[in-house]
Amino acid sequence: MCHPRQAEDTKTFTVKGIGTEKEKAMTMRSHIARSQKTSIQAPLSTVPLSQSALAQAAVRDRPNARVLIIGAGINGIATFRDLALQGVDVTIVDRGDYVSGASAASSHMIHGGVRYLENGEFRLVQESVEERNSLIKIAPHYVKPLKTTVPIFSTFSGIVAAPLRFLTHRQGVHTERGALLIKVGLMLYDSFSRDGGTVPRHEFRGRKESLRQLPELNDHLKYTATYFDASMHDPERLALDVLRDGLDAGPHARSANYIEAVGMDAEGVHLRNTVTGETFAFAADVVVNTSGPWTDVTNDALGQRSSFMGGTKGSHIVLDHPGLLAATGGREIFFEHEDGRIVLIYPLDGRVLVGTTDLEHDMSQPIRCTEEEVDYFFELVAYVFPRVAVDRSHIVFRFAGVRPLPNHDDEQPGFVSRDYRIESRPIGARPGFILSLVGGKWTTFRALAEHLSNDVLALLGAQRRVSTVGLAIGGGRNFPTTDAEHQVWVVAHGEEVGQKRAGQLLARYGTRASDVIEFLGEEPDAPLSNNAAYTRREIELLAQTEFVVHLSDVVLRRTSIAFKGGMTMALLGELADVLAPILGWSASDRASEVDSIVATLRDDHSVVLPKAQPVIRKGPIAPTPSLSAA
């Protein structure tokens, strides 16, 4: 348990809003100086401490909590939020950045999983559909209804094969799903939408009407079926909103990125700061392992060897292709070939996302989209849209991740359960329990976190105070959901930055954009020379308030610049120049950060950046304040 004086000292560490950042930094810096005088050799005013460093110090200086969560993907963060709202003393850490593992490699969809019906996972489908409907309401800034169309090339195919797959979970010889089978499945799928009206029911169209609506489709089709799921256009930002909700619950909730679990003994879990190399013991009554596909790796490090996981790799490509974008008609196209291969094609913020594969993967190997997978995507896109030519020149970004699926031995990947379970064990080295999450997906993160939190509360002998059902997330609070409401918000907030910019920031941050606009107006600002969609002050704000440690955190997760194919060497240099004084980078640090993200983009995302001359902005450049100047 925390000593009363320690608890009092931590009260000023929680980020409550934009306006308190400088005061918080000064308070934490003073605390660190008092508690570790020998670690600071220069005057306080010249030592920049990033928000992440402050958060890491807060965990190190009070190395105990009732609950320690290891793994800050969406399910770990959602559990952190839930427990924080119950008043539980909880800390979450991750060896890398927030949402940088499996959660960063999703299909950007919130979906009920119509295909899971064939596997008999009715509970999961019902929960998924209900959570999809809920997220459209509680996170409307990032989760939007998505019209989905399935091209169908036969009427009765699959009627015999589908029941056999349902009963045996064996693929056998794949048979294409015909219109009758898909109709039955979608009727059942619609039945799970208990609060009808969140999304429309499905509809069928014949060949003539289908080709009238989507003329670039393969004209050998017989029907199309159209139903609704939901898209999630900025998953990393949604996760940061969930995290901020947890932190805003009070000083009992702490988080730190770039801290990994490396061992466990009677003193607690041994944590290592991956930036400084410092290691310390952290005591907790309950340890929650939400490391996704790395759950077994984390358990092994803690001396709790397990073999729970058996994830499969899913890859995606992002295309800058106006012709294919127009061909989709603004909808997702979901197609399963007669040989069982699947492709998703849908528009996302002016680009086209194509995915996904479902391949066994060795977690000791790099997780990357291969050339064979790209060929797979192109072959299926050509089948769905035979008159739309697509090649590698259209790819602006690739990404891959491993789904945190359970160990499935010889079961084929397509039949592995997408549901989740929670494994509980005594810690052994000291009193307490370790809970390991097996499975889980983006769509059900709130419900999963509620389930996992209830198990933790039971172990702690505590009661639930707050329900997260229907509780708005971050910038989804009071988000305008009609055109009229949107216009009112934009007009009301457009005086400082202009209505167009206010609308852009509302789409990017939800109603938290009001705080962003306030920050932007405090000092002179200007668009980035190499990407006018962002300004210098906006990047400064991300660095000061969103736990940025590396340049890659901004390039890959705090913004969607790289995802959309907008990254250049000149822009990387400009971003590094903005971040350097805030994060305390030396000239060599800055150069290393640029080199590191260039290598990451090349190796993990197949983005090779040509050297370019930076754009020279005319006029004065506003000074960049740092936290150390507070």
Amino acid in position 201? R
Q: What's the fold here for domain 4-100+237-309+419-460? A: FAD/NAD(P)-binding domain (3.50.50)
Give the residue among 401, 451, 423 at the shortest CA–CA distance from 131: 451
Question: Which ranges of the chain have pLDDT less than 50?
Answer: 1-47, 160, 164, 166-169, 615-630
| Residue 596 to residue 619: CA distance in whole angstroms | 31
Q: What is the pLDDT of residue 171?
A: 54
Q: What is the pLDDT of residue 28?
A: 40
Write phi, then psi, for 225 (nearest 5 degrees). Answer: -115, 135
Q: What is the pLDDT of residue 70?
A: 98
Give the residue among 262, 235, 193 at the shortest CA–CA distance from 73: 235
Location of each CATH 3.30.9.10 domain in the chain: 104-235+310-415
Answer yes or no: are the C-beta atoms of 383 and 176 closer than 8 Å. Answer: no
In Å, what is the CA distance from 101 to each residue of 178, 290, 292, 446?
37, 11, 8, 19
Q: What is the pLDDT of residue 413?
A: 62
| Residue 54 to residue 25: CA distance in whole angstroms | 7
Give the residue among 601, 178, 581, 194 at the shortest CA–CA distance from 398: 601
Amino acid in position 212? R
3-class secondary structure, 364: coil
Write phi, then psi, for 309 (nearest 5 degrees). Answer: -100, 150
Answer yes or no: are the C-beta atoms of 509 and 517 closer than 8 Å. Answer: no
* Report field, pTM of the whole predicted structure over 0.85: yes
Name the β-bridge partners of 271: 261, 280
Q: What is the pLDDT of residue 123?
A: 87
b (16+ CB within 10 A) / e for 200-213: eebebbeeeebbee
3-state DSSP of 479-491: CCCCHHHHHHHHH
Amino acid in position 412? Q
Q: What is the pLDDT of residue 189?
A: 84
Q: What is the pLDDT of residue 465?
A: 97
Give the residue among 505, 517, 610 at the shortest CA–CA distance from 565: 610
- List the structure tokens of 188: 């059942």
Q: What is the pLDDT of residues 198-256, one digit of tens each?
A: 778 899 999 999 999 999 999 999 999 999 999 999 999 999 999 999 999 999 999 99
Residues in contact with 282: Cβ distance below 8 Å, sequence separation at least 6, in sequence order? 59, 63, 64, 65, 68, 91, 268, 269, 270, 271
| Residue 537 to residue 622: CA distance in whole angstroms | 9
Q: What's the fold here for domain 104-235+310-415? A: D-Amino Acid Oxidase; Chain A, domain 2 (3.30.9)
Amino acid in position 435? L
Location of each CATH 3.50.50.60 domain in the chain: 4-100+237-309+419-460
**Residue 170, number of CB atoms within 10 A of its CB:** 11
3-class secondary structure, 416: coil
Give the residue among 95, 234, 241 at the shortest CA–CA distance from 549: 95
Residue that is written with structure tokens 């309401």 in the block: 137
Q: Following DSSP, what letter does each residue of 492-517 receive, concatenated? A: HHHHHH-HHHHHHHHHHHGGGHHHHH
Residue that is written with structure tokens 């050297």 in the block: 611
126 alpha carbon, distance to own chain's centre? 23
Q: What is the pLDDT of residue 428?
A: 84
